[in-house]
């Protein structure tokens, strides 16, 4: 198995957790929640584009939703949870 496939989602999740921590720590939990909701809506839009897309265009949208947007949302939630525990 080629483990380099996992590098991009892990890097995105790590960066998003730092961003989620910073947003929740300095701007509050509500702003972090809005960020997570926005990322979730972006994932829904990309999945809808994948369903209605044709050929490689639809596949590209699905890959972006799974490999980038969802790890970013999960990382943001993790970072926000860590920031709220510190307060």
pLDDT in tens, 25-68: 888 878 888 888 888 888 777 777 777 776 666 677 777 777 88
58 contacts 49 by C-beta, under 8 angstroms: yes
Q: What is the pLDDT of residue 2?
A: 67
Q: What is the pLDDT of residue 57?
A: 65
The residues spanned by each domain of the chain are 8-86
Residue scoring higher pLDDT (81 or 51): 81
Encode burial over 2-34: b for 16+ CB neighbours within 10 A, e otherwise. Answer: eeeeeeebeebbeebbebbbebbbeeeeeebee
From residue 84, give the alpha-carbon distance in Å to each of 12, 33, 43, 70.
Answer: 21, 12, 25, 21
pTM above 0.95, yes or no: no
Q: Is residue 21 scored above 80 in pLDDT?
A: yes
């Amino acid at each position: 198995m080629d483990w380099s496939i996992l590098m991009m989602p892990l890097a995105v999740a790590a960066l998003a957790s730092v961003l989620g921590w910073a947003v929740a720590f300095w701007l509050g939990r509500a702003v972090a929640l809005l960020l997570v909701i926005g990322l979730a809506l972006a994932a829904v839009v990309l999945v809808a584009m994948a369903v209605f897309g044709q050929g490689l265009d639809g596949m590209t949208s699905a890959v972006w939703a799974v490999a980038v947007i969802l790890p970013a949302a999960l990382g943001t939630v993790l970072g926000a949870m860590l920031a709220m525990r510190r307060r």
